[in-house]
Structure 1
Amino acid sequence: MDRVLVLTAAGSLPDAALARAEAAGGRLLRRLAPDAAELGGEVESAAAALAGLAVDANILPAAGRRKRLLVADMDSTIIGVECIDEIAAEAGVGAQVAAITERAMQGALDFEAALRERVALLAGLPEAALDRVCATRVRLNPGARRLVQTMNALGAVTALVSGGFTWFTERVAAEAGFGVHRANTLIIENGRLTGAVAAPILGRAAKRETLEALAAEAGLSPRDAVAVGDGANDAEMLRAAGLGVAFRAKPTLRSVADAVIDHADLTAVLSLQGIAEEERRG
């Protein structure tokens, strides 16, 4: 068996979906969790039979799926918001910054230039606004903590790598359980944002380079990594990883991903690796 079909869904995987996949030639290998199953057999036909259902159907190589390095984006992946957009709302420039963010995440703008442009609009904002954003708007996406804690328990290196800001990655990494975090540094003087971000900027290429460096430090290959993201600036990172997962992603990222999650929560990243319920933590 060269390939497997991994099915994931929100909450629970409907029996009707499994039955449809099996009727199309899929063969149930095991239930990984209430919301996930692994099938062999005619995987292409089985996946096609599920079109239109609220089920993620990803075909992957059967061998080598379990990874030893998790590298995840933060904004709109591990958490449900784009932090810079939330900060901008505090500064009264929310609509302007959100429009730039959307174009950057779609790949229509150079990420580094777009980041500098957005941060410049935040000049003069009190640092206390970051506290308010973190306290009231930053929340882990469903399944995030369980994904990270399970990977930790299985001995993997876990890293939060963001084109956002260390002010937030430090806090989100601690809450989710990541061992490492990397991001950009907002320059703050006298308790206020200066409108600048420290160089070098961690963008599209830097995310890939960070994955490669983390793998090398752990004595691993980039192919031993699973990378998860949602935007265009995650594309190089996903391409470099052995398993690149697009989570609620923009079209530009979906096209380069090995797997796409539209319906299930972040524990689907465990299911894609064949990690069953009894091995999960958190």
Structure 2
Amino acid sequence: MSSAEIVVTLIAHGSELSEQTKSGFRAFLNDLSDVELEQEKALSVRAYDFFLRTQKDVAVIKETMGSLGNGILDVIVQKNSEWRKKKGLVVFDMDSTLIYQEVIELIAAYAQVEDRVAEITERAMNNELDFKQSLQERVALLKGIKTATLYDEIKAKLRVTEGVPELTRGLQKTGCKLAVLSGGFTPFANHMKEVLGLDFARANVLATETDASTGEEVLSGYTLGDVVDGECKAATLIELAREHGVPIEATVMVGDGGNDLPAMGVAGFGIAWNAKPKVQAAAPSKLNTRSMQDAFYIFGYTDGEIQELLK
């Protein structure tokens, strides 16, 4: 078996990756059997690449890294192929990924059931509860909420995650296609598509009905059509790659919940963004910094290259 080149990236959560940390990690690598530290590269004062030549695959190297980082930095292990930087399709989850909030909890506040909805959401995102079942239970709690001004009021409350506008704008300049696949709801996924200039959006459709006593439109307490769950996200990612002629190796899924893991599994790479511990453990990589712009480091961009993209 020929040796495979692997790149390990350290990304500090704070302002700087110390020389002591880099030196300690270098010593750790040099102590590994059948691993040769071939080259190093500074991406910024916070991010650093170590290039390894080894017959071990990514999964083995990643397992070897274990819990390195101790909450102060992220350690990302991946193949150092042409597809690392050459991204053709990046797909994002919406709630707690592109935006800070969970939209269904914002809607639930109108019926004073946000605590009940939040508890179910937490279990679903931690992969402890079937997503379709959790969605059905949560949407049922929304029955009767008036829709006349609901969507516009919620849209006004949405806060885009730090670094998302820069990341999406920079990726677009490289010709990369961008999509949002959400277990949330269509009006808000389409809104984020428009705000960020994404190429595609898919989410769940909330059913409505007319309140017999008031004649006003209200939520029916269920969704229409196919549920956008983990399997749907994975299938849609593959469909989008095929539609745009993008090699699967050039695709990425970014998300925070258990229902994002299937798409990460079929994509060329996956990033768990400030995710639940179980999701971080199962994902191809994890990023726990303040700004999603730091994903550029995972893709191999230096600060200088990022600045050029964002001009």
Confirm whether residue 227 of structure 1 aligns to residue 248 of structure 2. no
1:268–1:260 Cα change, 3 Å: same
Q: 1:13 aligns with which of 10, 16, 22?
A: 16
- Alpha carbon RMSD of aligned pairs, Å? 2.5
Gaps of 5+ in 2: 31-36, 55-60, 210-215
Please show how residues 1-282 of structure 1 align to structure 2 within 5 Å.
2-10=5-13, 12-16=15-19, 17-24=21-28, 25=30, 29-40=40-51, 51-52=69-70, 54-63=72-81, 64-66=83-85, 67-127=87-147, 128-136=149-157, 138-189=158-209, 190-280=216-306, 281-282=309-310
Following superposition, the deviation at residue 218 of structure 1 comes to 0.8
- After TM superposition, the score normalised by the length of structure 1 is 0.90
Contact 1:20 1:50 in 2 (8 A): no
* Higher radius of gyration, 1 or 2: 2
Tell me the distance in 2 between the aligned counterparts of 1:167 and 1:231. Answer: 21
Tell me the distance in 2 between the aligned counterparts of 1:163 and 1:131. Answer: 19
Tell me the distance in 1 between the aligned counterparts of 2:242 and 2:185. Answer: 24
Contact 2:272 2:287 in 1 (8 A): yes
Residues 126-171 of structure 1: CA distance to partner in whole angstroms, max 9, x if unpaired? 22233323213x2111111111111111111100111111111111
Gaps of 5+ in 1: none
Contact 2:40 2:50 in 1 (8 A): yes
1:29–1:88 Cα change, 3 Å: same
Residues 103-126 of structure 1: CA distance to partner in whole angstroms, max 9, x if unpaired? 111222221121122111111212
Tell me the distance in 1 between the aligned counterparts of 2:38 and 2:73. Answer: 17
Following superposition, the deviation at residue 27 of structure 1 comes to 7.3
Contact 1:56 1:260 in 2 (8 A): yes
Residues 205-237 of structure 1: CA distance to partner in whole angstroms, max 9, x if unpaired? 100011010001011233220111111111110
Contact 1:7 1:38 in 2 (8 A): yes
Greater RCO (CA < 8 Å, at least 6 residues apart): 1
- Identity among equivalent positions (%) equals 32
- After TM superposition, the score normalised by the length of structure 2 is 0.82
